[in-house]
Amino acid sequence: MRIGIFGTGAVGRTLGSRFIELGHEVRLGSRTADNEAATEWAGQAGERASHGTFADAASFGQVLVNATSGSASVDAIGSAAPTDLEGKVLIDVANPLDFSKGFPPTLSIKDTDSLAETIQRAFPQLRVVKSLNTMSADVMVRPSQLDGGHNVFVSGDDADAKATVRSLLVEIGWPADDIVDLGDLSSARGAEMFLPLWLRLMTAQGSAAFNIKVVR
Amino acid sequence: MRIGIFGTGAVGRTLGSRFIELGHEVRLGSRTADNEAATEWAGQAGERASHGTFADAASFGQVLVNATSGSASVDAIGSAAPTDLEGKVLIDVANPLDFSKGFPPTLSIKDTDSLAETIQRAFPQLRVVKSLNTMSADVMVRPSQLDGGHNVFVSGDDADAKATVRSLLVEIGWPADDIVDLGDLSSARGAEMFLPLWLRLMTAQGSAAFNIKVVR
């Protein structure tokens, strides 16, 4: 499958490398076609890896991933040609974190809205699925590194799009039983508002190598 | 120990009954001294149980518990004589849920503030510790009902107050290793902002009999 990733930060590169490992073709997109991190990544990640602008990534991908910072997401996706978004699944792994007042960040969107819903409203031709935003990049792509089962959430309005994301999560290494469907896209509010607790847990533990498990 | 509980809803009564089982004396406080739920509870819970106004509960308790609805908490605690709050530990188990627009509720306080901090600012003579607000009343008092370890959080500015709460949690049945110190009272923002995810999980699962475990 061809996967286009918006964003060349640690999350975009880590997900990109994992998808390459799994046999997919990946193009990382950034504001400029000669982004240094993306150029270095594509040089190391092998022949199925490429990079370009946000528009190039959108045009390339059959499935798209939003791994930009939340404040930049709508602009990044908006620089794609609208026809290159048509009907595509976009996995939104970003969080609307606002670091303008330091650490811990606050949320620029919350409570009665979410970044995922904001993207879906701005680009109705996409099928947005929120997932993977509740953990570090390293845990996203290597869930088995933690000691015991733990969960990843999916939120979205389109059942087929959620099924596509679920398949990719299983490919990445997530046991199907650990993938929890939270409901429609408005449930992304819950997944995004978990971040303040995640950040406090990271600080308390001094490590981002953790996740949560729903215990019944 | 004498424990005064603000609030006579399911959370207040469930915690009250558990503290009675453990040998403590408990007084439930409500707006009116003849609150029906509190009268019935005190009649069933045995000789160490009593009820009265919010002020009566505050005067009675060596340790206080806020189990009112978040929107009513400051008024409830404010009806106590200020000297009856002096130096006391208040365990804030409430959440600032706003049901005015239906289900799921939104949060009336969030992101840059929390209910716990709001209470602490309003009553600086209290030592507020946020805890137990991230789960159902039944899970609070019978953590072993779930299959496997899971966590309860504490947030607060006073180390002695947190130690008092930790001791009570262990008495209730929480293994010491499952009690996670999130940090100062501002970390209650994280614990309170978990509620939107908790509510979505409850809806998705059709049950409130769950909690989360931090997996490392």
Mean residue pLDDT of chain A comes to: 98
Q: Closest by alpha carbon to B185, among B98, B141, B126, B97?
A: B126
- d(C-alpha A133, C-alpha A115), whole Å: 11
Among chain A residues, the shortest Cα distance to B149 is held by A215
**The one-letter amino acid at B91:** I
| Contacts with A187 from chain B: Cβ below 8 Å | 200, 204
pTM exceeds 0.90 for this model: yes
Q: What residues form DSSP beta bridges with B131?
A: B154
| pLDDT for the residue numbered B119 | 98
What is the arithmetic mean of pLDDT over B77-97?
98
- DSSP 8-state code for residue A13: H
- Structure letter (DSSP) for residue B192: H
Residue A93: its pLDDT value, please? 98
pLDDT score recorded for residue A128: 98
| Residues of A in Cβ contact (< 8 Å) with B212 | 212-215
Angle between helix axes B10-21 and B36-45 (nearest 10 degrees) is 20
Q: Per-residue pLDDT averaged across B24-33, rounded?
A: 97
Q: Do B196 and A111 touch (CB under 8 A)?
A: yes
Distance CA B118, CA A58 (A): 45
Cis peptide bond N-terminal to B104, omega within 30: yes
Q: Which chain A positions have a beta carbon within 8 Å of B193's beta carbon?
A: 110, 193-194, 196-197
CA dihedral of A10, A16, A19, A25, whole degrees rounded to 10 = 180
pLDDT tens-digit profile of A198-212? 999 999 999 999 999
Bridge partner list, A92: A66, A130
How does DSSP classify residue A137? H
- Looking at residue B149, its pLDDT comes to 95
Judged on CB neighbours under 10 Å (0-12, 13-18, 19+), A2 is middle
Helix (H), strand (E) at residue B120:
helix B115-122
CA nearest neighbour of B182 among A106, A197, A190:
A197
Q: Give the closest-approach CA distance of A111 to chain B in angstroms.
A: 6
- Tell me the pLDDT tens digit for each residue of B35-58: 999 999 999 999 999 999 999 999
Interface test mutation site (partner B, options A193, A194, A211, max chain B beta carbons within 10 A): A193
Say whether B147 and A215 touch across the interface (CB within 8 A). Answer: yes
Q: Among all chains, which residue has been given the structure tokens 């409500």?
A: B30
Q: Where are the alpha helices (H) located in chain A, listed in sequence order?
A: 10-21, 36-45, 54-60, 73-78, 115-122, 137-141, 159-172, 188-193, 195-205
**Helices and strands: H and E segment counts in chain A:** 9, 11
Task: Give the residue on B whose Cα is nearest the Cα of A191.
Answer: B197
Query: What's the per-residue H, E or C state across B52-114?
Result: EEHHHHHHHCCEEEECCCHHHHHHHHHCCCHHHCCCCEEEECCCCEECCCCCCCEECCCCCCC
Q: Which residues of B touch A210 (CB under 8 A)?
A: 214-216
Name which of A111, A150, A179 to mutate to probe chain B: the one with the most chain B Cβ atoms within 10 A of its Cβ.
A111
Q: Evaluate whether A61 touches A91 at the Cβ level (below 8 Å).
A: no
For A179, the enclosing helix (H) or strand (E) is strand A179-183
- By Cβ distance, the residue of A112, A153, A196 closest to B190 is A196
Shortest CA distance from A211: residue in chain B: B215
Residue A119 CB neighbour total at 10 angstroms:
24
- Closest residue to B212, CB basis, from A187, A207, A214: A214
Per-residue pLDDT tens digits for B140-190: 999 999 998 999 999 999 999 999 999 999 999 999 999 999 999 999 999
For residue A104, say if its preceding peptide bond is cis, omega within 30 degrees of 0. Answer: yes
**Contacts (Cβ under 8 Å, ≥6 apart) of B42:** B28, B49, B50, B51
Give the up-direction half-sphere exposure of residue A29: CA atoms within 13 A in the CB hemisphere: 26
| Mean pLDDT score, B10-20 | 98
Residue with tokens 């989360």: B212
Q: Name the pairing type of β-strands B127-131 and B152-156.
A: antiparallel
- Which of A95, A133, A190 lies closest to B106, judged by CA? A190
Q: Give how far the C-alpha of residue A85 lies from the chain's centroid of Cα atoms, to the nearest Å.
A: 16
pLDDT of chain A, 216 residues: tens digit per residue: 999 999 999 999 999 999 999 999 999 999 999 999 999 999 999 999 999 999 999 999 999 999 999 999 999 999 999 999 999 999 999 999 999 999 999 999 999 999 999 999 999 999 999 999 999 999 999 999 999 899 999 999 999 999 999 999 999 999 999 999 999 999 999 999 999 999 999 999 999 999 999 999
Q: Using alpha carbons, select from A2, A169, A158 the residue that is nearest to residue A87.
A: A158
Hey, what's the torsion of the CAs at A158, B210, A197, B167, to 10 degrees? 180
Subunit contact B212:A213, Cβ cutoff 8 A: yes
- Which residue on chain A is closest to B195 by alpha carbon? A190
What whole-number distance in Å separates Cα of residue A132 and Cα of residue A93?
A: 5
Name every residue in B having a CB less than 8 A away from some CB of A.
Answer: 106-107, 110-112, 146-150, 153, 180-183, 187, 189-191, 193-194, 196-201, 203-205, 207, 209-216
Task: Check if the interface score ipTM surpasses 0.95.
Answer: yes
Q: Strand, helix or coil at B22?
A: coil
pLDDT, position A16: 98
